[in-house]
A = this chain, B = another copy of it.
Amino acid sequence: MRTNIRYLILGLLNQQPMSGYDVKRFLESLSWLVGSPSFGSIYPTLRSLLQHDLVTMEAVLQEDKPPRKIYSITAKGAAALDAWVNKPLPSATSMKGFLMRLILAGSFSPARLTDQMKERRAQVATQWEALKQAVDTVQDPGQRLALEYGCEIASAELAWLDQTLGQIGQQLTVEDVGTIVTP
């Protein structure tokens, strides 16, 4: 699980300043997709980001409640995020890992986003082929089920990637050429 909560949180702070509690709430709403880290990892991560000057913190006092500590990304933090985002996808990226990057797409240039999706497409296509081959050679019924399931998910993912890449491609073309095409 090279998922590193660190950059996920940094990416959220890049979209807008927020507190640790806000981070939790937000990720909770996406928990099925990327899983929600516990407070026991969020707060220490924020402290670490602060110590490395990747974020700043401003305490907003409230009556009868602990102060909300609002974290904002710094220039150094934005640079670190940018560097991370522009690294190629690790060779065996999980769906969760890819989703994490997708959530941060707002921090990407459009070109980088499409690159990333193409990298992913290539990886999934390779795995799909491998799975299709494996299905025929496996005898155990459970393993077969698992492989078939994997095939199905892979092909759905490929379809989505192709469709979405197509849409983004069209949008970019419209901007570049400056023509509006009515559908």
Number of A residues, CB within 8 Å of B: 42
Instruction: State whether B142 touches A99 (Cβ < 8 A).
Output: no
Stretch from A53-61, A63-71, A149-157 that touches the partner: A149-157
Question: In whole Å, how far is A18's beta carbon from the nearest beta carbon of chain B?
Answer: 13
Chain B residues near A88 (CB-CB < 8 A)? none
Q: In the bound complex, how far is the Cα of B33 from the Cα of A94, in angstroms? A: 9
Q: Which of A30, A32, A140, A160 has the most CB of B within 10 A?
A: A32
Question: In whole Å, how far is A137's beta carbon from the nearest beta carbon of chain B?
Answer: 10
Taken residue by residue from 1 to 24, chain A's Cβ proximity to chain B (1 for < 8 Å, 0 otherwise) reads as 100000000000001000000000
Stretch from A41-49, A100-108, A174-182 that touches the partner: A100-108
Taken residue by residue from 64 to 89, chain A's Cβ proximity to chain B (1 for < 8 Å, 0 otherwise) reads as 00000000000000000000000000
* Interface presence of A134 (CB below 8 A): yes
Chain B residues near A108 (CB-CB < 8 A)? 142
Instruction: State whether A35 touches B94 (Cβ < 8 A).
Output: yes
Q: A99-B150, A105-B141, A153-B160 are in contact. List 9 more A-B contacts (CB 8 A).
A: A32-B130, A35-B94, A95-B95, A99-B149, A102-B142, A102-B145, A105-B145, A145-B164, A153-B156
